Structure 1
Amino acid sequence: MSGRVVHFEIPFDEAGRAQAFYREVFGWNLIDMPEMSYTLVTTGPTGDQGATEPGFINGGMLRRESPNESPIVVIDVEDIDASLARIEELGGQTLLGRQQVGDMGWAAYFKDVEGNSMGLWQSA
């Protein structure tokens, strides 16, 4: 079902510091993926298809691109291109169009009508 929050992304200035903080405070499992300049974050029991029990989502961490960048909520959609078109029809703005993410699916980013940056996810 689309429209659900399925992922989060937390920007950092210093990877090691941020990773240590979230690992120590919350016990998150962090997997560094240097080839993608990304850190996968698992916040609970996880299998090949993602979370294995209801009530939590996993996410990622990445280098902060701008000083005011804040965490991003990622929403599942059936069709990223159609969703971006609808977002723009309703006054939002595409920040980064459809991007392939390995063989898992596609991601995109948009700004809502209140100026919040958000993400979209479409599974392969």
Structure 2
Amino acid sequence: MNQPPAWFDITALDANRSREFYGQLFGWEVRVDASMDYGLTQTPEGVAGGIGQATEDGPHPAGLVMYFPVADVDAALGRAEALGGSCAVPPWEIPGLGKMAVFRDPDGNRVGLWQR
């Protein structure tokens, strides 16, 4: 695979329960950043990700999103839209880590883009 996932994000209705579940299921160590209520994890296979809390007013509903690396988030999002996808979460900056966005493919699946 030329572009394996670079990050996964699990947004949960009960983030603490999900952190416990995935930690026990896969043996992940989950470090919670209390300021964001977001649990960061690194899988034994080397794929980084996190488990966050879904909120009614937040842009990320409960579910799983895989983020794929791209050279230019804005260009990749534009291409996804031109191919029949739609923007789910507009690009945003993660200080020191890069830029991310989420789109829906033609079937409604949420897919992330990550520009480092």
Normalised by the length of structure 1, the TM-score is 0.80
Query: Which has the larger displacement, 114-123 or 20-29?
Result: 20-29
User: Does structure 1 residue 62 correspond to structure 2 residue 23?
Assistant: no
Report 1:34-113 matches (<5 A): 34-44=34-44, 55-65=45-55, 69-113=62-106
- The alpha-carbon distance between structure 1 residues 17 and 69, as it changes in their structure 2 partners (threshold 3 A), is closer
Q: What CA RMSD, in Å, does the superposition of the two structures yield over aligned residues? A: 1.8
Contact preservation (8 Å) 2:10, 2:52:
yes
For 1:5 and 1:31, locate their aligned partners in 2 and report how far apart those are by CA, in whole Å: 21
Q: CA separation of 1:72/1:34 partners in 2, compared to 1, >3 Å: closer, same or farther?
A: same
Are 1:116 and 2:109 matched, yes or no?
yes
Instruction: Report the Cα distance in structure 1 between the residues aligned to 2:63 and 2:102, rounded to whole angstroms.
Output: 13
Q: Aligned residue pairs: how many?
A: 111
Counterparts of 1:65 and 1:115, CA distance in 2 = 20
What's the counterpart of residue 21 of structure 2?
21
Which consecutive segments of 4 or more residues in structure 1 shift more than 6 A? none
Q: Distance in 1 between matches of 2:46 and 2:95?
A: 23
Query: SS of the counterpart of 1:36?
Result: coil
Structure 1 residue 88: Cα displacement: 0.8
TM-score computed with the length of structure 2 as normaliser: 0.85
Aligned with 1:108: secondary structure? strand
Contiguous gaps of at least 5 residues in structure 1: 45-54
Could you say what secondary structure the match of 1:85 adopts? helix
Which residue identity does 2:70 align to in structure 1? Answer: V
Instruction: Measure the CA separation in 2 of the matches of 1:4 and 1:23.
Output: 22
Aligned identity (percent) is: 32
Aligned to 2:33: 33
